[in-house]
Structure 1
Amino acid sequence: MVALITPVQTARSLAPDLARGIMLLLIALSHAPAFVDDWNTGPPALDAAAKIVKSLLADNQARNMFVFLFGYGLVQLARRQEARGVDWTSVKKMLRRRAFWLVVIGFANAVIFVPIDIVAVYGATLLVLAPLVRAGETVLWRTSALTLVPATLLMAWQSVAAQGDPATIAEIMEPTLAAHLVAGLPSWPANTLVSTVIVVPAMLVGILAARRRLLDEPERHLPLLRRIAVIGIGVALIGRLPAALLAAGAWATPSAPVGWTVAIAHDLTGYAGGIAMAAAVGLAAARMRRGRLANALAALGQRSLTFYLFQALVWVVLFYPFTLSLHDDMGFAASLAIAVGVWLLSIALAAWMHAAGHRGPAEIVLRRLTYRG
């Protein structure tokens, strides 16, 4: 087992919060088109360009950045507790309480808002893997590598299924709120448990990165961060470009072997890209002066759970038949524009909350539930 105690910092680190703030843009880009009926109703060239952007930046990459930062945050949380003299057994119990309530919050998100949820998946994974927060590096690397294979194959299977005729949530939206609230209940447990496999590799790499304080003290790790960012983003662009071109209709649906190869390359290199983007934010933070934009993005990152749920609420309000019902009024590019707009609104709201001294309501609830035992 590895002790996590290091000198406690007096100021909150900028890079992890910046990364979480930027991550919410990628999450919005990934999710918004799922609520549109027909992806080809806008200007063809604009929709094609939007599909390339989404496939390169967001699909099965935004989640990996998200879960990398989740793993990173677990070490930060455990480190703060141990620095206060809390023993590891108590820290582990606290992590599992947090995990349980993440499952509850994720369940509520999937039932009340939209059936795209990662919060419960994080919670279920942490319930099982909490001891790994303090495991040795060899154990972490080996477990990450071993789970990378089934995780990639699972994602590739989903990607291959979407290559021919991508299904959207708009096709299964219920006409009434009452029907909506019960529609996702039967499939939620299986979807959550299966998805836990996908998040393990990047989560464990996030734990390893936090051990070295790569984002807490980026100025001390500039060469390493630069290598991770340059190599990871380069590999991701090369590995993900064929799938992006396929999604944009630049070439015909390939044979089954080619389709699987394209999907595996896209999803496997998404792990490298998600982690590399976090490293790139660390590089930027090491050179960045804290101005209004940086503070606003950091404020958003500090409230990432709140604004992840806020995005889900917005999708319901905008797209569902029992609300504004815009699901059949826009194409792919327009949905990405909506995603960017929601993210910009989130920045403004987070900056206002920070200036007013308000923490995120979801963070307040989770903190109280986590430390209540």
Structure 2
Amino acid sequence: MLLLIALSHAPAFVDGDAGPAPLDAAARFLKSLLADNQARNMFVFLFGYGLVQLARRQEDRGAGWASVKSLLRRRALWLVVVGFLNTVLFVPIDIVAVYGLTLLLLAPLVRAREPVLWWTVALTLVPATLLLAWQSVMAQTRPSTIAEIMEPTLGAHLVASIPSWPAKTVVSVLIVVPAMFVGVLAARRRVLDEPERHLPLLRRVAVIGIGLAVAGRLPAALMAAGAWSTTSAPVSWAVAVAHDLTGYAGGVAMAAVVGLVAARIRRGRLVAALAALGQRSLTFYLFQALLWVVLFYPFALSLHDDMGQAATLGVAAGVWVLSVALADGMRALGHRGPAEILLRKLTYRSYGR
């Protein structure tokens, strides 16, 4: 999950194609096919899944639903705060506050009946896809990157994102709802908790979802790589809708692939290291954001003019490998992620535990 997020984010911090043209075209193709508007959906699916796990643990300890709902909302409020600070201090691409606001608004649905959840997914999927498609079409007509709006000084950087943050966060709630509540539905059945009991379902989801994602996202990936173009507005919209709609299927399918692997793989050092990173995902999501500032911003190392798309994907992969190594070291030393510790203390202190 964090690897895909890094692959999606890192290229946004460079000005253009400073590297070899074939490599940069291949990088844009892979980023569009694998990461854009798909990595987020895997992330959101797992967030929804985790909400049910959290609620289940509390109910197993004897907490009533009113108490659990209060806990979820308290957690949501602090996620909004963390996401705001991430946007202000680090980079203006944040999903944490969107998670928090969505949960704050829709916490009762975590326990809603399945038909209500399915209807919520269905009714939000179309407008969410159209919103994403509109963003994609705008990007086709006028490509833009964060590199274009990076501030030259730290002081200017710290205030630049504040005015647009509320509107961007509110609008983005719609985008995350479909995958989030599919994650809630999956958690009800313990699909990833007990993957060995759900292998046929996981296989179907993985095969169908990845098949749909590849077929639906390939035209946009070819456009991103410069291998194909169109001047037709209807075709541009069709390509964008297909890319972003099947990104939901692909995100859920990638989570299913992880479930299939988890059901078969033997635990070892590598698995333990990956699990350690997953247990500290918020910490290392923020760690990624910090590194983008250090590497690319004009008041830091200012590499945004010196790298092409392919190089940034290499940097993204390197950041992820470093994250795995650091998380594994923290595991070996018995240290939890500082962001997870802080979020838990803030949430449970107000919850009375």
Question: Shorter-chain TM-score: which interval?
Answer: over 0.9
Greater shift after overlay, 246-255 or 92-101? Answer: 246-255
- How far did 1:165 drift? 3.2
Judge conservation of contact 2:42–2:255 (CA < 8 Å) in 1: yes
Equivalent residue, structure 1, for 2:14: 36
Matched, 1:119 2:59: no
The answer for unaligned runs of 5 or more in structure 2 is none
Matched, 1:285 2:277: no
- How far did 1:125 drift? 0.2
Judge conservation of contact 2:210–2:250 (CA < 8 Å) in 1: yes
Q: Distance in 1 between matches of 2:124 and 2:236?
A: 22
The answer for unaligned runs of 5 or more in structure 1 is 1-22
Judge conservation of contact 2:18–2:305 (CA < 8 Å) in 1: no
TM-score w.r.t. the length of structure 2 is 0.99
Judge conservation of contact 1:164–1:253 (CA < 8 Å) in 2: no
Q: Which letter does structure 2 place at the counterpart of 1:131?
A: P
Q: Distance in 2 between matches of 1:288 and 1:251?
A: 40
Equivalent residue, structure 2, for 1:24: 2
Query: Which residue of 65, 70, 73 maps to 1:93?
Result: 70
Judge conservation of contact 1:36–1:330 (CA < 8 Å) in 2: yes
Equivalent residue, structure 2, for 1:197: 174
Give the alignment of 1:314-329 within 5 angstroms.
314-329=291-306
Equivalent residue, structure 2, for 1:19: none
Q: Which letter does structure 1 place at the counterpart of 2:140?
A: Q
- How far did 1:254 drift? 3.3
Equivalent residue, structure 2, for 1:250: 227
- How far did 1:367 drift? 0.5
Q: Distance in 1 between matches of 2:274 and 2:253?
A: 19
Judge conservation of contact 1:68–1:275 (CA < 8 Å) in 2: yes
Q: Distance in 2 between matches of 1:243 and 1:337?
A: 22
Give the alignment of 1:116-265 within 5 angstroms.
116-265=93-242
Query: Which residue of 274, 277, 281 maps to 1:297?
Result: 274
- How far did 1:253 drift? 3.7
Q: Distance in 2 between matches of 1:100 and 1:372?
A: 13
Equivalent residue, structure 2, for 1:51: 28
- How far did 1:164 drift? 2.8
Equivalent residue, structure 1, for 2:284: 307
Judge conservation of contact 2:14–2:296 (CA < 8 Å) in 1: yes
TM-score w.r.t. the length of structure 1 is 0.93
Q: Distance in 2 between matches of 1:359 and 1:150?
A: 39
- How far did 1:98 drift? 0.2
- How far did 1:252 drift? 2.1
Number of residue pairs matched by the alignment: 350
1:134-167 per-position Cα deviation (integer Å, ceiling 9, x unaligned): 0000000000000001100000000001113320
Q: Distance in 2 between matches of 1:29 and 1:303?
A: 19
- How far did 1:365 drift? 0.4
Q: Which letter does structure 2 place at the counterpart of 1:366?
A: L
Q: Quote the sequence identity (%).
A: 79
Equivalent residue, structure 2, for 1:3: none
Equivalent residue, structure 2, for 1:269: 246
1:214-254 per-position Cα deviation (integer Å, ceiling 9, x unaligned): 00000000000000000000000000000000000001243
Judge conservation of contact 1:103–1:122 (CA < 8 Å) in 2: yes
Equivalent residue, structure 2, for 1:9: none
Query: Which residue of 332, 340, 346 maps to 2:309?
Result: 332
Equivalent residue, structure 2, for 1:60: 37
Equivalent residue, structure 2, for 1:369: 346
Give the match's secondary structure for 2:192: coil
Q: Which runs of 4 or more aligned residues in structure 1 lie more than 4 Å from their structure 2 counterparts after TM superposition?
A: none
Judge conservation of contact 2:117–2:185 (CA < 8 Å) in 1: yes
